[in-house]
Amino acid sequence: MARTDEPPAASDDWWRTAVIYEVYPRSFADSTGNGIGDLRGIRERLPYIASLGVDGIWITPFQRSPQVDQGYDVSDYCDVDPLFGTLADVDDLLAEAHTLGLRVLVDIVPNHASVQHPLFKNAAAAGPGSPERAMFHVADGVGDRAPNNWTSVFGGPAWHRVWPDSATDRQWYLHLFSPAQPDWNWRNPAVADYFDGVLRFWFDRGVDGIRIDVAHGMFKAEGMPDAPDVPAVADGLRSNPLVTDQEPVHEVYRRWRRIADQYEPARLLVGEVNLEPDRAARYTRPDELHQAFAFAFARLEWNGDEWAAVGERLERARRTHGSAPSWALENHDLVRTASRFGGGERGARRAAAAVVALLGLPGAVYLYQGQELGLPEVDVPPSARVDPIWVSSGTGRDGARIPMPWTVSPEKVNGFTVNDGVTAWLPTPTGWGSWSVERQEADPHSNLTLVRAAIRCRESLLRTGRIPPDEPVSWRSEFNGLVTCDREGGMTVAIAMGDEPVPLPDGTVLFRTDGETDAVLRPDSTAWMWRRN
């Protein structure tokens, strides 16, 4: 019996200023001692997440899956993979999270399923021309070649034969990711009906919203023609405009918004929309998604001119479409900012300054587990890599998915698991405990202490009405490396992105990361200023 525990009481637009903590279940906490994180492990660590001051958590896929792509190949959207637990564990997690005042978002993967999904297995067995095959993109080839020249995100062609050894069934199925992930055919109304049921299943169970994987995908260009250019190296779905951002996808989100709004309180819809700002903003029009990640920001290096230029583009898109960005610099697919911003001590300072800068901007902020610790990217040995992208292209995402270090001691994988002598699903490097929660909670100058303090300051400013939840901003980059974002209500976020100290903008310091008290901001630091009237 599903529980119906209501989420924390708040206004219907709580999400506009929310800080959401992304949890990657495999790498968060292992309660069973098998070296893989699970739902019960998450539940047991919820008090820690709540102590950060965040408003909720987003949990990446834990549904039933063969785990070819670590859960993004779903074989049953309405069940839990035994690797992570049971539906009862979901109910317990929801109840505990709501008790702690945390909302819970779950991941839905509507672009593709698993080859082990019963509907795809039925499609394969049913044969060409069947209604079952019409649920997926299954097509005849051109002679012995695939239906078109599309390439997979994971490398190689985006088509595989349904039955490679058959002399009579010569059809191919589309997979924009791995061959284990066939794409749904969203031009078939039966697919939309099926996913209506998926959404209602999780909303009825009590989740507070969903994050939608590849939200700009789903529909492919009519007729699926050849792509004009086939890149030598795949660049995600950005390589092929024929497989993303097709106009019919917006009607899906209008339909989903109507479903989400039927609940009390309304459920949240968050999209992974990896498009340029002006295109991504269209997905958050008033009757579509509530939020879309600001991916143009997440791809930035430590460069003031680029930060200001992208910030202005996002602001122009917001003014056009009435939507606010959802800020993020890290997730389970991206290189950790401490490494992306230069590595070492300087990269760590920049990563801390960056996360505090985001927390000072209007809108919602998404933090990835371990970002509050300043975790760096890990160079995983090739023999230990498991990401399917690594197999096909020599690049991968494993380095950002290393298990969380909870304790200083390396025993029990730095507290990640409950048993001694367990090998985690990805190896932790020597000295990983120096980044641990245990060590940083004991250090008043740690990255964890800084992030907690910034979230508290942000919450106080919002609660007292000193900063409006959603207001116009203006960005600029100065010759001396100072980048500023002026909020209309009176607050300025200042980031020193050059090599020399810079004068602080006029005003009163509300928060700063460099630990100083004078009127100079040190390199690789952020300050929040209240401008003088």
The residues carrying an active-site annotation are 213, 272
**Angle at which helices 344-359 and 447-463 cross, to 10°:** 10
Give CA–CA dist 405/437, Å, rounded.
7
- Burial environment of residue 468 by CB neighbours within 10 A (0 to 12, 13 to 18, 19 or more): middle
H helix or E strand, kind and range, residue 510: strand 508-512
DSSP state string for 98-132: HHTT-EEEEEE--SB--TTSHHHHHHHHH-TT-TT
DSSP 3-state assignment of 389?
helix
Q: Which DSSP state fits 183?
A: B
Helix, strand, coil abundance in the chain, percent, nearest 5: 30, 15, 50
Give CA–CA dist 65/81, Å, rounded.
6
Centroid of chain to Cα 320: 25
Residue with tokens 């965040």: 54
Torsion angles phi and psi, residue 78, rounded to 5: -120, 30
CB-based contact 498:525 (threshold 8 Å)? no
Q: Which two tokens stand for residue 286?
A: 């008033």
Give CA–CA dist 366/283, Å, rounded.
18
Q: Which DSSP state fits 482?
A: E
DSSP state string for 270-296: EE---S-HHHHGGGGSTTS-SEEB-HH
- In degrees, rounded to 5, the angle at the alpha carbon of residue 53 between the alpha carbons of residues 48 and 56 is 80
CB-based contact 330:368 (threshold 8 Å)? yes
DSSP 3-state assignment of 240?
coil
Torsion angles phi and psi, residue 25, rounded to 5: -55, -40
CB-based contact 373:447 (threshold 8 Å)? yes
CB-based contact 393:155 (threshold 8 Å)? yes
Q: Which two tokens stand for residue 127?
A: 């044969």
CB-based contact 107:211 (threshold 8 Å)? yes
CB-based contact 27:72 (threshold 8 Å)? no
Give CA–CA dist 423/419, Å, rounded.
10
Torsion angles phi and psi, residue 492, rounded to 5: -120, 135
Q: Within 1-113, where are the H helices?
A: 39-44, 46-51, 87-99
Give CA–CA dist 419/462, Å, rounded.
43
